[in-house]
Chains A and B, each alone.
Chain A
Amino acid sequence: MDNNRIFRRVGVILALFLLTISIGVPLLLIFWQSVYPDGQWDWMAPIRTITGHHLSGVLLNSVWLGICVVAVTTLLALPLAWMMAKTRMGEHRWVDVILMIPFMTPPYIGSMGWILFMQKGGYLQQWVPSSAGWSELFFSFWGMVLIMSLHLFPFLYLLLRDALIRIGGNLEEAGAVHGARAGYRFRRIILPLLLSSYGMGIMLVFVKTIAEFGTPATFGRKIGYYVMTSEIHKYISSWPIDFGKATSLASVLLSVCLVMWYMQSAMSRKFTYRLVGGKGQRSKRYSLRGGAGWLCGVYLAILLILSIGIPYFSIIAASTMKLRGSGIAFDNLTLDHYKELLSWGSVSMKAIGNSLGLSLAASTVAVIIGTGFALAIGRSSSFMQRVIDLFSLLPNTVPGIVMVVGLILFWNSPWMPVTLYNTYGMVVLTYVVLFLPYTVQYVKSSFTQIDGTLFQAGQVFGGKPLYILRRILIPLILPGMLAGWMMTFTIATRELVGSLLILPPSMQTSATYIFAQFEQGQVSLGMAMAVVTVGMTVLMLLGIELLNSKRKWNAS
């Protein structure tokens, strides 16, 4: 027992140290810059910025967008999570990988796909000229909510599905034995047990939405809907540069997210139950026959068409066009862009190589560190643990670009003995910091639901801490680790905002390559790169899924 406590204490201290240098200090430097603009101490600077720039309207825009996206992602993800956890449809494991595609697609590419499809003279109108009215309906606030929800719902879905699987069938059966009807069972058994995962999921969706930059920059600008991130980005990347204002706005955004975090963690502490006990679990899967089966199938099909079909139709169409001004026609098709892209030794191939290498390195490091953090946080019972929880979540609540600027200020400062800036290591560090919250959240979510009696059982039978770790803990949190690893890998391969600022000169990743092509007017080449990189990631994930299919965890 003492051994264990020392183990934990050391873990907590190590985690705090790592978090301080990788997240705490860079963010403090940002705040420092916001009250110390032009080399003069000015406490009022952030307050002036906030009052003087119609900020309240923009802030409300952000929050309202976040709320609506949370509502729509819930509508999309909850039924699907239930189907995949409780019915025979769950045996189609490929669905999980396919559903990662929207999340792997860079948000600005997904929005571009929708814009190309729906705009005046777009792909839809080239087929169905009478659809002009839809275009106007679509280019509105609700169109933006739909695009963002379709991008983010897989994330909530994965969390909910895992939670539903963990809940298992016994508890529900117990309810049924005691005569509870389906509706009552859902309300009194499933819902409360689901609440902690759901809270975590919607908090992350909310935060992702209000910290998202790609869709507001492409779609939001078109419909005149401005949010906090577009304002921050404006101050940080267009002339005249004003880090002071950007950081002031960022601190407001951060505060909103912290309030969300506090609410979520309070709720989660109240509604966390130990579900993975030693008794083994069976979950009952309903076989779907007749109408119900059809309904589920149709639901899945519509979801796939909206989230993948339409955007990818546009992306692929745009990537195979000779002349973009000529529209969809057979004599306008070409594969030249792919040939140019995939010619050996080209800039684009180097960019792909860089992306893969960086993402592999970053996701592996992130899983190791993130798992450590998640275990140190444990059930967030002590104050220190909650501090770690908060800190490890920060990168997800600060807009990426702000976090990155903080990292640069820190790792490029003259008083640092080693300047990591402008090296490969800096890129890996940035990715790890940016995506650490995923691993931490996933592992934490599986860890908090393990019943402590399992470890006690291990100890009773004489298991040493390392043995317990290896034979009990790791196997039980492995799905969380794997999910975190996959998430980090897939997002790192498309990370853009940070890469634009921290990549050493002359080094490109696939995302900055795509962005550069758009900037240069080579939209087709950029779209081809998007198809290739997302395609590669999907194949890789399918491979992992195949390797993994033998390992059945907690399934019937």
Chain B
Amino acid sequence: MLGMNTRKKSAMLLLTAVMSISLFGCSTGNTTTGNAAQPAGEGNTAAAAETTKPAGGKLVLYSAGPQKLADNIVSGFTDKTGIEVEMFQGTTGKILARMEAEKSNPVADVVILASLPSAQALKADGLTMPYPDAANADKLNKDWSDAEGNYFSSSASALGIVYNTKLVSTPPTSWAELATPAWKDAVNIPDPTLSGSALDFITGYLSANGEKGWDLLSAYKANGVAMAGANQEALDPVITGAKSIVAAGVDYMAYSSKAKGEPLDIVYPEEGTVISPRPAAILKSSPNVENAKAFIDYLLSDEAQKLVADAYLIPGREDIEATNRANVKDIPQLKVDWNWMSEHGEETAARFSETFK
């Protein structure tokens, strides 16, 4: 009897303790979240008024995409401004997850993503800070950047058919050809829920072809096209020869592997493809606004755009060309509708995964 009692009592005690802690935690958490943004914002404007020129300090950058390029840009920026950069490198999905986890106490100043719709979503959620006066912003490709200066696409990559030259002697020239028996079980396609660029291709293809665009994708599935992780994961089996082709492969990865000597090459299908811009944005919660602005200016400078071109990416500025790869004018493009793509990204990705599972 006594044992029963103490057991019950301690259970109640634990329950109340846990509940009070959780209630206390959550309620205070919620009330302060709303207010926290304001004092931070005020602090920033005050700081901005005092110092017009960034003098040292730091910048926190979350960057998706090729690490070498990001490293080069960061060191170029630090050399020029004396601002120390702390960088987190990951895929677009990882960066967005990190931002979500840090929502109540954000630390990032600038994000560079590998997918335009994600940047549009950040803008729609009111997370970005417009910077309409960015230097050289007028020279950027208008379709890829925000007119109000919420995000700037400082680079882009086109999606093509990447193939192993040891296994493929006459590469396919159209998207439709990949659904023919010649390529049965030999093709990978990146997973659009993991790869922003693959999602851009699929939504782009659908926006240009309407509902019958799904016919091609179903034909792919019927022909044994495998959905295979993010871009690099889809490309690796092609390098080692387990698969022959990546459909909607990122071109800069193909170019840089080819330059290393791997047996790879790329074609852009004649029906046209999608060019996937890589937007950079300043976050509204940024604690170092001036440094963030300086970083955007640097991203759009001649120097940084040259680094972009050297990394086999398409420079975001229309007046700069890459010499080591096909430029925008050489690539046949589908007539895509970015607004439709942003709105339908989520459902398309879900339907695609269902089809290919």
Residues of A bordering B, CB below 8 Å: 16, 20, 24-25, 28-29, 32, 36, 39, 116, 119-122, 217, 221-222, 224, 226, 234, 236-241, 243, 322-327, 382-384, 387, 405, 408-410, 412-415, 419, 421-422, 500-501, 503-506, 516, 518-521, 523
Contacts and interface: CB of A to CB of B under 8 A. Distances in A.
Contact of A521 (B191, B257, B261): B257
* Across the A-B interface, the 8 shortest Cβ-Cβ residue pairs: A121-B241, A238-B93, A505-B88, A505-B86, A325-B263, A506-B86, A119-B242, A415-B28
A499 B248 CA distance: 31
Interface in B178-195: 191, 193-194
Nearest to A326: B263
29 contacts: A20-B21, A25-B21, A29-B25, A120-B241, A121-B242, A122-B240, A221-B227, A221-B229, A222-B226, A239-B118, A239-B196, A243-B100, A325-B241, A383-B7, A384-B10, A408-B102, A414-B32, A414-B105, A415-B32, A503-B88, A504-B86, A506-B85, A506-B86, A516-B89, A518-B233, A520-B67, A521-B253, A521-B257, A523-B236
B222 interface: no
Contacts of B263: 323, 325-326
B190 to A, nearest CB: 12
Contacts, number: 163
B22 A32 contact: yes
Contact of A28 (B18, B91, B105, B242): B18
B97 interface: yes
B302 to A, nearest CB: 26
Contacts of B60: 505
Nearest to B166: A325
A240 B166 CA distance: 38
Interface string B125-151: 000000000000000000000000000
Contacts of A505: 60-62, 86-88, 107-108
B94 A387 contact: no
Contacts of B239: 324-325
Contacts of A325: 164, 166, 239-241, 262-264
A20 B18 contact: yes
Contacts of B61: 505
B96 A239 contact: yes
A19 to B, nearest CB: 11
A119 B238 CA distance: 12
Q: Which of A322, A500, A519 has the most CB of B within 10 A?
A: A519
Contacts of B232: 518-521
Interface in B24-40: 25-26, 28-30, 32-33, 36
Contact of A520 (B66, B101, B104): B66
Contacts of B228: 221-222
Interface in B211-264: 226-230, 232-233, 235-237, 239-243, 253, 256-257, 260-264
Contact of B261 (A16, A239, A323, A501): A323
Interface residues of B, number: 79
B87 A119 contact: no
B88 A238 contact: no
B339 to A, nearest CB: 17
Nearest to A506: B86
A32 B306 CA distance: 48
Given A239-B93, A519-B91, 18 more contacts: A16-B14, A116-B240, A119-B237, A121-B241, A222-B226, A222-B228, A238-B194, A239-B345, A324-B239, A412-B102, A412-B104, A415-B29, A415-B32, A503-B88, A518-B233, A519-B230, A521-B235, A523-B236
A20 B17 contact: yes
B26 A29 contact: yes
Interface in B92-130: 92-94, 96-98, 100-102, 104-105, 107-108, 115, 117-118, 121
A121 B66 CA distance: 28
Contacts of B236: 324, 521, 523
A550 to B, nearest CB: 45
B90 interface: yes
Contacts of A501: 94, 97-98, 101
Describe B's contact surface by its main secondary structure.
helix
A222 B227 CA distance: 8
Contacts of A237: 91, 93-94, 97
Nearest to A405: B101
B86 A414 contact: no
B17 to A, nearest CB: 7
Given A224-B357, A325-B263, A413 B67 contact: no
B346 interface: yes
A25 B29 CA distance: 13
A234 B11 CA distance: 37
A413 B264 CA distance: 48
Contact of A387 (B14, B90, B115): B14
Nearest to A504: B86
Contacts of A25: 21-22, 25
A415 B346 CA distance: 34
Q: Which of A239, A414, A415, A520 has the most CB of B within 10 A?
A: A239
B193 A324 contact: no
Contacts of A405: 101
Contacts of A419: 105
A235 B12 CA distance: 35
A422 B86 CA distance: 11
A213 B107 CA distance: 28
B260 A323 contact: yes
Q: Which of A36, A121, A226 has the most CB of B within 10 A?
A: A121
Contacts of B241: 120-121, 325, 327
Given A240-B121, A521-B235, A226 B357 contact: yes
A498 to B, nearest CB: 11
Contacts of B22: 25, 28-29, 32
Contacts of B102: 408, 412, 421
Interface in B290-307: none
Nearest to B196: A239
Nearest to B25: A25
A383 B10 contact: yes
Contacts of B261: 322-323
A506 B87 contact: yes
A500 B90 contact: yes
Nearest to B263: A325
Contact of A414 (B11, B29, B96): B29
A16 to B, nearest CB: 8
A221 B28 CA distance: 42
Contacts of A503: 88
Contacts of B242: 119-122
A119 B235 CA distance: 14
Contacts of A224: 357
Interface string B67-93: 110000000000000000111111111
Contact of A240 (B28, B108, B262, B346): B346
A240 B117 CA distance: 10
Contacts of A322: 261
A36 B102 CA distance: 17
Contacts of A327: 240-241
A36 B61 CA distance: 30
